[in-house]
Structure 1
Amino acid sequence: MASWREIEQDAPGFAARVRERFSAGTHKSIATLRRDGSPRISGLELEFGDGEVTLGMMSGSMKLLDVRRDPRIAVHSPTIDPPGDAPESWSGDAKLAGRVVPVPPPADNPHENAGFFRIDISEAVLTYVGTPADHLVIESWHPGTGWRRRSRD
């Protein structure tokens, strides 16, 4: 697992583009695991700062119950459709996967029993349409292997 800082240091251009995708809108999607192991998708807000990706969850929310039982998660950036007339100009979408680790609540936290976490990252991915627009480009970063770029027709 890695901190966001490690990705920023190892692949700064890639990290900047992933962060930009997550900043394209307020609401992201998080996948957590239900008690029976099936996935749950929920809305979420997160922040990048001080070399970490952090997030909070309201007390009693199902996603909070999920991550307290099993900390494995995946987070998807806001989804923006590619332009129909120029798909190669689409900035793509980004994903993070890993485990949430509890952190102390912010000093100004008004929400009793809420959960606050940072993400220990096992994977960061950026996917977009290539030029010409006849293939996808997949860039990824993994601890131990670093940044990689590949394409798929």
Structure 2
Amino acid sequence: MVNGWADFQVAEPQFAKTVQQRFQQYKHHVLATIRKDGSPRVTGLEVTFLHGELWLGMMPHSRKAQDLQRDPRFAIQANPGADEQMRDGDARISGRAVEVTDPDVIARFVGEIKPPEPFHLFRVEPTEVVGTSIEGDALVVRAWRPGRPVRTIRRGNGDEGIQEG
């Protein structure tokens, strides 16, 4: 069972590295949470990869933090950038955002990242990681879920199909 980003890195090291690099290309990304009434909320967000984990930091009492405190399910999409060709592909992570309240963990995070304080800190437990890219004339989608190998779907250049592992 995968609990955090570090576990995903162990399960799929190359795919985890590719997705992390894609997120680290830009500072701001798009977070989707679930509002109190069940409708989606989409907001901007910065992500932090530190000590083998993926962290989400938010201003106190922000709507997105309140959404995650109520319902930890989320999805985050890497900033697509200004490249119309999407040469670097796309990356998305879905899962649970678990709020961290341990003062030692928060102090360690503050000591290294120096975020504006106060803030809410959430640790990501991924339940799905997806990377999309163009390879030649084909759209290639790689998807991972805990306990399963990466699934690759190719569409477009005549060799459409699904490959696992």
Question: Which bin holds the TM-score, normalised by the shorter protein?
Answer: 0.7 to 0.9
Q: Which residue of 1 aligns with 2:122?
A: 117
Specify the SS of the correspondent of 2:37: coil
Q: 2: CA distance between counterparts of 1:141 and 1:130?
A: 19
Q: Which residue of 1 aligns with 2:58?
A: 57
Pair 1:148-2:151 in alignment: yes
Higher RCO (CA-CA < 8 Å; seq separation 6+): 1
State TM-score, norm by structure 1.
0.87
Specify the SS of the correspondent of 2:41: strand
Is the 8 Å Cα contact of residues 69 and 99 (structure 2) preserved in structure 1? Answer: no
State TM-score, norm by structure 2.
0.81
Deviates most, 20-29 or 140-149: 140-149
**Structural mapping, 1:1-153, within 5 Å:** 1-82=2-83, 84=85, 90-104=87-101, 106-107=106-107, 108=110, 111-112=117-118, 114-131=119-136, 133=137, 135-153=138-156
The offset of 1:2, in angstroms, is 3.3
CA RMSD of aligned residues (A): 1.8
- The answer for unaligned runs of 5 or more in structure 2 is 157-165
Q: 1: CA distance between counterparts of 2:43 and 2:133?
A: 23
Is the 8 Å Cα contact of residues 7 and 141 (structure 1) preserved in structure 2? Answer: no
Specify the SS of the correspondent of 1:78: coil
Q: 2: CA distance between counterparts of 1:126 and 1:81?
A: 18
Is the 8 Å Cα contact of residues 95 and 124 (structure 2) preserved in structure 1? Answer: yes
The offset of 1:103, in angstroms, is 1.3
Is the 8 Å Cα contact of residues 82 and 92 (structure 1) preserved in structure 2? Answer: no
Q: Alpha-carbon deviations, 1:21-75, whole Å to 9, x = none?
A: 1011000110000111111001111111222101111012110111111110001
Deviates most, 5-14 or 34-43: 5-14
Q: 1: CA distance between counterparts of 2:79 and 2:88?
A: 12
Q: What is the percent sequence identity of the aligned residues?
A: 38
Are the structure 2 counterparts of residues 57 and 150 from structure 1 closer, same or farther at C-alpha, using a change threshold of 3 Å? same
The offset of 1:7, in angstroms, is 1.9
Specify the SS of the correspondent of 2:150: strand
